[in-house]
Structure 1
Amino acid sequence: MFKKISITLMLLIAYFGSFSQESVKYRVILIGDAGEMNTGQFESLKDAAKHVIKGKTTTLFLGDNIYPSGMAIPGYGDFAETSNILNSQFKPMRDAGAAVYFVPGNHDWDKSGPNGLAKIKAQGDYLASFNDPLLKLLPANGCPDPIAIKLSDKLTLIAYDSEWWLFPYKKDNPGADCDCNTKEEVIAKMEDLMEQNRDKVILLASHHPFQSYGSHGGYFTLRNHLFPLTSLNKKLYIPMPVVGSLYPFLRSTFLSPEDLNHPAYKDMIKRVNAVFGDRPNVIYAAGHEHGLQLIKSKQLQIVSGAGAKMNPNKKGKNSLYQDFNQGYVVADQLQNNDMRYEYYNYTDTGVVKVF
């Protein structure tokens, strides 16, 4: 009797799992800032791979693919170590049957350092060496070109390199044969892609978010002030109120180009929003902040930057969801073309759906 009940339950689980997958037209798994191998990263990626539906899933790594400062180049870094970090991300997904695309982050550009252009080109070259059309850096070769990829008849991915926009060192790239070489050309290309996909849902992907209630957005929690070491390890509840308050003060006073309130970042937001900001069919997806957020104001912003790291963020007035545990996001286009978003956290007892 118990054997029959077990078999019945297994059949029901299989049926409802199949039914759930059949309701999905296309799936995008969004994981950002996953460029460090640790237990949370490993478990999150292993769990995310279980959500792959063969033939209709793309995994998008949203930048900071290699910590601390990008792909090794001669004289800088360990090639085996940095290649293994990339392998740890794409191999579980490709083995499961998902297409895998990486977008560049500031750490991939030498942590916004002087070797940035060489390092981001090296990352793209490494991925290209596999000769796999479903494994790419978008865009590649140090170019800023916005790239469009058709995911379904009603879903298009448009990816661009937001760190190229903010990068403070030399980025002239004459031998790369880029379609775009200036910010004006990037915006013109975005306008063309917007027009070509005006009747589709557009997933606009970059490393840098345009809305955030985390430290890059200028928001700091009481936890930041009292227990600053929890940004490194969530169990390090060591009170350091004076030191903890000093860091938010310095971050707010001396802005980095990597912070949303910096003039260069604000200029990027203004000019890209002029193309996409008023369009209800556009979803912004980014990493950068080491947490998970879903924000809805004029635009819908997914922040998935908790692949390997975590840092506190706040619940803001436009927050639909936020936390700072490691994890990832699944964005599904359903058969009726509606979009569905599910958030997953790595916990001490495993990876669980939290939203």
Structure 2
Amino acid sequence: MLLYFLIIPTVLFLVFGLFSYWQELKYRNKPFYKLSDVGWRKCLPKPEARLVHSIAFMGDVGYVATDGTDPVMRLLEEWQQNTGPDGSVLFLGDNLYPVGMPAETHRHYPAAKERLDFLLGQMGAYAGRKIFLSGNHDWNKGRAKGLEYVLRQEKYVVDTLQDENSYLPRHGCPGPEAIQLAEGLLLVIINTQWWVQRGEKPMGIGQGCPYDDIEEFFVRLNQILRRNRHQRIVVAAHHPLYSNALHGGKFTIKQHIFPLTAAHKRFYIPLPIFGSLYPFYRQLFGAYEDMSHRKYRKMRKRLLRIFHQYSNIVYVAGHDHNLQHFEVRDNHYIVSGSGSKTSFVKKGGKATFTLEQRGFFVLNYYDTGEVWIEALAVPETEDVPKPGVVVFRKELGTVLQPKVQAQQV
């Protein structure tokens, strides 16, 4: 009898695991669309609409190839040529893997400098606006001396591009920083790594930040959103507020059975049942970079409490290495973190679109007041027929009163 109690659960677990794995394989590297967005290809801006401003969201580019062959950077270059000066490129953090920009004596410094020089070389030739944000890897993976690492990267970017606004928020401060990109289109940048960073993080005028209490950040953010509720507001950060991927607590069956692959992709040592302890821990308590971690959870709760008061916000982040779109309470939440590598993303839930593919999102703002987003992807499998295809498009609504005075920011 005891043998049956051991065999039956084991067989059921294996059957469930194999079925789930088969389901995952069916949509890995394939786009998922919410039923209402299946016909997105037929949706286009009005023929008479003229593009006023375009934003390319480049997330987690820290592993791009520097020899000119990288398909995502080629796609960005094509976008730059087509858009011209009426565009902005936002690097959403994790610009340099694995630990950002260390000191010159560090073994990772030569590779970090080479990659950053490559990115800045392509940006230096672009006439539009270019802005770098910081992510957890730029802060020494969120560990001690992270502030030192990010300030070194900031100085290098600002000195090279000769633009004080090319790395925001400055000095590692939380922000928010508001920039008027066009009439009716406002960009707000925040440094979400500040909340989850371990060790030193700046605060107060002595460290270049405009306030001494973090509560002032939320007051200022709410003031910016309230004064500009007639505009379309794009909030850019590194950490997403919604995600169907790893940092949102979503794991593959492989990660449950072979948990050691999280440490190294070749560690295929089966640990069924016991292997689920790690994913469950990440889902319930989380690492510092996970939504379930208490610091991340507290930050997310405060931001969403503010955003839910408005209906004109597009929140864009990286962090998870895929492309995702969510529409929640009339606001839009985008993950554009597959600039240099990809990872599993789960379909369904609150998502309207997900794709495990390298690429980036673009936001287009037209003189008709229309605001559209597009997801551009490059091929890694036969599911995407050619480079640079649009794999998703959606209108986010119309800015009814596009005129705004600069002092309102």
Q: Structure 2-normalised TM-score?
A: 0.74
Partner letter of residue 289 of structure 1?
Answer: D
Corresponding position: 1:309 with 2:338: no
Corresponding position: 1:147 with 2:177: yes
Q: CA deviation at 1:222?
A: 3.5
CA distance in 2, matches of 1:21, 1:245: 54
Asked if the contact 2:101/2:152 (under 8 Å) is kept, the reply is yes
User: 1:108-257 residue pairs with structure 2 within 5 A?
Assistant: 108-133=138-163, 136-172=166-202, 175-222=206-253, 224-225=255-256, 240=270, 242=272, 245=276, 247-257=278-288
Count matched residues: 336
Q: After superposition, what is the alpha-carbon deviation per residue over 1:84-110, rounded to whole angstroms, capped at 9, x for unaligned?
A: 222333432442323111111011111
CA distance in 1, matches of 2:112, 2:374: 30
- Range with bigger deviation, 134-143 or 154-163: 134-143
Partner letter of residue 198 of structure 2?
Answer: P
Corresponding position: 1:352 with 2:389: yes
Asked if the contact 1:165/1:183 (under 8 Å) is kept, the reply is no
**% same residue:** 31
Partner of 1:111, secondary structure, is helix
Partner letter of residue 98 of structure 1?
Answer: G
Residue in 1 aligned with 2:64? Answer: 37
* Aligned counterpart in structure 1 of residue 290 of structure 2, from 241, 248, 259: 259
* Aligned counterpart in structure 2 of residue 46 of structure 1, from 74, 85, 96: 74
Partner letter of residue 194 of structure 1?
Answer: L
CA distance in 1, matches of 2:310, 2:183: 18
CA distance in 2, matches of 1:227, 1:93: 41
Stretches of structure 2 lacking an aligned partner (at least 5 in a row): 1-45, 381-385, 393-409
Asked if the contact 1:293/1:322 (under 8 Å) is kept, the reply is yes
* Aligned counterpart in structure 1 of residue 111 of structure 2, from 81, 86, 103: 81
CA distance in 1, matches of 2:91, 2:253: 30
In structure 2, relative to structure 1, the CA distance for the partners of 1:177 and 1:233 (3 Å cut) is closer
In structure 2, relative to structure 1, the CA distance for the partners of 1:87 and 1:226 (3 Å cut) is farther
Q: CA deviation at 1:337?
A: 1.8
Residue in 2 aligned with 1:3? Answer: none
In structure 2, relative to structure 1, the CA distance for the partners of 1:216 and 1:227 (3 Å cut) is same
Q: Structure 1-normalised TM-score?
A: 0.85
Partner letter of residue 143 of structure 1?
Answer: C
- Range with bigger deviation, 322-331 or 81-90: 81-90
RMSD of the alignment, in Å?
2.9
In structure 2, relative to structure 1, the CA distance for the partners of 1:315 and 1:232 (3 Å cut) is farther
CA distance in 1, matches of 2:164, 2:190: 17
CA distance in 2, matches of 1:147, 1:260: 24
* Aligned counterpart in structure 1 of residue 55 of structure 2, from 7, 28, 43: 28
Asked if the contact 2:64/2:339 (under 8 Å) is kept, the reply is no
